[in-house]
Structures are given as C-alpha cells and as structure tokens.
Amino acid sequence: MTQTDTISKFDGGLTLVAYKHLSTGSAISSMEQCKQYIIPLQQHIGIISQPLVKKGERVLKGQMLAKPGNMISAAVHSPVSGIVSDIKQHEVPHISGLPDLCIFIENDFKDEWIERHPLADDYNQATSSGLRNIIRDAGIVGLGGAAFPSAVKQTEINIKTLILNAVECEPYISCDDVLMREHAQEVLTGADIIGHVIKARQCIIAIEDNKPEAIKAIQSAIDNDGTGFFNIQVVPTIYPSGGEKQLIQIITGEEVPRGRYPAEIGVLCHNVATAYAIYRAVYLDEPLISRITTVTGHGVKQPQNIEVLVGTPVSACIEHCGGYTESSDELIMGGPMMGFSLNSDTLPVVKASNCLLVTAKEENRHKQKHLPCIRCGKCVEVCPVRLLPQQLYWYASSKNVDRLIEHNLFDCIECGCCAYVCPSDIPLVQYYRYAKTTIWQQERERKASDIARQRHEKHQQRLEKIKLEREEKLRQKRELLKKKSNGNAADNKDGDKDNKQAAIAEAIARAQAKKVERNKGKDNENKEPG
C-alpha cells in the first residue's frame, strides 16, 4: 500500500527537465559478448582488491579474480570464461582520467560457469553473517553510483527501517526505473534478503512520482507478497532527492548528523539495483558481473537500457545502441549533474556505471568563459545541505584551508545544484573538488612526514646507542690493559712467562683438535661414495 502520511522535505534542490523518456521506450536489451573484457581492480570505495589470478591462467565465468584488500573493499569476478591475457595499468573510468591496475580477460565464448550453490528460498534459514559473507564474496557494492561495499554497511545493530532507494533523481538515467518495471519480484526478494541480514522491521521503497509504471509494478509485487513488510513511498521529483542523507530526511524527517552514518538513526539505505544484485548473489549464487546501464543522450542513435557485463568496453555499448550520431559531442559516465566526462570509449563499464550519456553539440556549452561571482545568493537557495557555496568558492580560489573546513566543505555532496543555477556559469563543484583533494593530499603528506620524523628519531637514537656502546667497550678494554700492565709490574717475570706458555699450549691443543676433526670429516667423505 502507498503511504499517505505527509512526508518531509530537505532545503534547496531543483526541478530539472528529466529526458528520461529517451531511454524508457524499449525493454532492457542484453548485449552480445565481446572478445575482451577489462576489469579494474578498484571499482569501489576503499582499498584496491588483490589479484588472485596470474597472466595466462584460464578462468571461469563468475570466478573471483581479486579478493577484497581489507575490511572496506570488494572482490571482482570474471564476467566470462576465458584466459587472463594481461594484468596491467589501463585507463579506468575515474574523474582524474588516470590509469589503474586492470585484469584483461580474453573471452573463449564457452560461457562456462564456476560451480554454483544457489540458496534459493533457503535464505530464510541462513544466518545474518552467512548471508553477509555471500554478499561480500559476490563483490556487491552500492550500484547507485557511490560503489560503497554493501556488506560493510549491513550492520544488524538497531536498524529498524530499510529504505530502498529507487528515486533516481538525475536527468536522463532510467536504469532503476526499467529494472523495477521488469524485475519487481526479484527486487523485493533482494530487499527481503537485506531485511533478513539487518533484522529490519519494515522496508520502504522510495520512488519519485515521475515513474508511474515502476510504482505500479512494485505495487503489484507487494500485493502478491502480502507480508506487510514492504511499503511504497512516492516522493516528489526534486533533485537531489536520491542522495542518501536527503532521502532519509524526506522519509523519516530526521537528519543524519554530520560525519555519522544513517545506521545511527536506525536506518539503512540501499539502491534498488543493489537489492537486485543481492537477490542474484544469494538466490542464484551469481556474483556481481553484470548491471543494467542506461545508454542515452542526443548523441547516441538508439538510447536504451542494456544489461551489460562489467568490464565491457564503452565503445561496444555505444555500438550496441546504434552508435554515435553525427552531432555527438561529449561522452559522460553518470548523469549530467554528477557524471564526469571520459577521454576515450576504450574504457570499461564498471560496477558503478549507471549511465553512459552522449551529449549532442547543441546541448553543450563548455568552452565559454565564466564570469565573476556577483554574490546573488542563488546557490545558497538551492544547496540541499545548507552550505554557503559562494563563500566556499571564495575560500577555495584563495586556498584558505582553515576557512573551508570551518564552512563545512566536506559536507558538500557535489550534487551540482549551485553550479546549475549560477548566472555567472562558475564551475563551483570543480572548485570544491580541487579544495577537497588538496586538503586530502596535505593530510597524506602530514602523515608521511610524521612517520619520517619518527623513523629519523629512532635512527638517531640507534646511532647514539651504538656510539655509547663502542665507547664503553673501549673504556673497559683500556682499563683491562691498564690493570694488566700494573699487575705485570708487580708480578715477577716468571709468572708472565707461565701465562704466555699456557696460552701457547692452549692454542696448540685447539689446532690439533681441529685437525683431528677435519681428518674425520675427510674420512667420512671418502667412505660415503663406497
């Protein structure tokens, strides 16, 4: 049933032209397999995963290629069966455009799966930790875009409500919408599994009111279910309602405190696509090797949603959708508000790639000079986290770290609302990104220099200790010599002679003993071959 009680709202936000109809006209289409897949070892927030395979090794579909590097990390799996043709640096979809370590799989088109043990409906009997291990081993990360390892946030302490985020507030993107239309039952099963892990009492599925078909599909699945665990909450279409903290504020009316996790107010938030991936991992024992991605924009011939294997080159996805139009301009991974442009289409699709947007030339207004800030305050009105974007801009351009931190730079979710409304076209988010990464870099340098200082101090202490020890030894020797010479002077000469003679006798005895031993050894050697 649809909840009818009034919902809260967050400050700011924008109503954007959605362009979702571009890609929702057709069903999800599956892509034919490619010859080569490129699997980056870091597709998640946290530590890079550690490769388990070697170059030249044959791998099966679904086989783990790399294990989590530590607690906050995620495994990656082979999307096809084939040969590991290389493990090397390759450009990955990242805002920096830098390369990272990737595993290359040459497809043998046999589609041979590893042995699987699907739990199917038995998941009800499984323990929380057992299910969490399955989710962790399946390499599941948040598929809404942040790619945070899912198992890490599934704590079972004090969680009352599971919120399934199906808001999908960015323009153009429709992968969650079509997923719900076509796989509503599976999504609910996935949510039930998560509910089982975290022992939630209720699950609220939050959907924006611009997705009536998805609402209908989920509603009928809920009616079939009949347990009363699930509820739909329709939320108004305001960008960025899909932000985790914004959505929690809409649904519960409570704000997640700064620097804290939603779990602390008894809420856990997962994307619908993540729930679907968890269904596939637990129910079917399929690791996260594919996802639904929206390929859209006026620069691509047949915008649509595709089910694509992780590691597929972007060029293959575009080709599957009819290729680029003549007016195509920029290739963006993610939505128009928070996405980043890709330098080439040889990059692979990763777990977090919810959208490939190809803009047409007239949609784009890049190469224009931005004007000075006139302090109109429009950015303040739209900021969903109530920051002062114009002040942050000011301090970022003057590199004033202390003031940036005082003005809560790190609360910025980089939603892009401020830059969108700015009449001077200032790329505000890029200033914040510059400031954030620079502060992180300074922090890293400070840590490194602290370690270097410690190591240098220990080094100095050791040298000092060695020096003191040497001096002490010298002193002792000197004293011994002194004593000896004093003693010699007092003793008669015969005693000295006796001492010397004894020392000589001892040395002779030692040499003889050694000789005997050596001879023995030789005898043994001689004996051995015979």
Partner 1 sequence: MFTVIITLAIIASIFGLILAYSAVRFRVEGDPVVDKIDALLPQTQCGQCTFPGCRPYAEAMAKGEADINQCPPGGEATIIALADLLDVEVKPLNAEHGEVKTLPTIVRIDEQTCIGCTLCIQACPVDAILGAAKQMHTVIESECTGCNLCIPPCPVDCIHIFEVRPTVRTWTAELPDVDYAAPHAS
Question: Which chain residues interact with partner 1 by CB under 8 A?
Answer: 42, 48, 92, 94-96, 98, 100, 336-337, 341, 364-370, 396-397, 416, 419-420, 422, 425-431, 433-434, 436-438, 440-441, 444-445, 448-453, 455-456, 458-459
Distance of alpha carbon 350 from the chain centroid: 11
DSSP string over 177-225: HHHHHHHHHHHHHHHHHHHHHHT-SEEEEEEETT-HHHHHHHHHHHHHH
Distance CA 392, CA 403 (A): 8
Least Å from the CB of residue 34 to partner 1: 24
Cβ distance to partner 1 smaller for residue 461 or 488? 461
End-to-end Cα separation, the chain, in angstroms:
94
**C-beta separation of 264 from 256 below 8 A:** yes
Bond from prior residue into 240 cis (ω within 30 degrees of 0): yes
Q: How many CB atoms lie within 10 A of CB 373?
A: 17
What pairs with residue 30 in β-bridges? 307
Residue found by looking up tokens 């390892």 in the block? 149
Least Å from the CB of residue 369 to partner 1: 5
Least Å from the CB of residue 347 to partner 1: 12
**C-beta separation of 197 from 157 below 8 A:** no
Least Å from the CB of residue 137 to partner 1: 24
Geometric angle at alpha carbon 260, from 259 and 262, rounded to 5°: 135
Least Å from the CB of residue 371 to partner 1: 9
Cβ distance to partner 1 smaller for residue 28 or 401? 401
Cβ distance to partner 1 smaller for residue 168 or 329? 329
Cβ distance to partner 1 smaller for residue 97 or 130? 97
Least Cα distance to 264 among 256, 274, 272 occurs for: 256
Give the helix/strand (H/E) hosting 152. helix 150-153
Least Å from the CB of residue 414 to partner 1: 11
Cβ distance to partner 1 smaller for residue 48 or 265? 48
Cβ distance to partner 1 smaller for residue 168 or 170? 170
Cβ distance to partner 1 smaller for residue 199 or 455? 455
**Sign of the torsion angle spanned by Cα atoms 135, 141, 143, 144:** positive
Least Å from the CB of residue 458 to partner 1: 7
Cβ distance to partner 1 smaller for residue 21 or 399? 399
Q: Helix or strand or coil: residue 42?
A: coil
Least Å from the CB of residue 378 to partner 1: 12
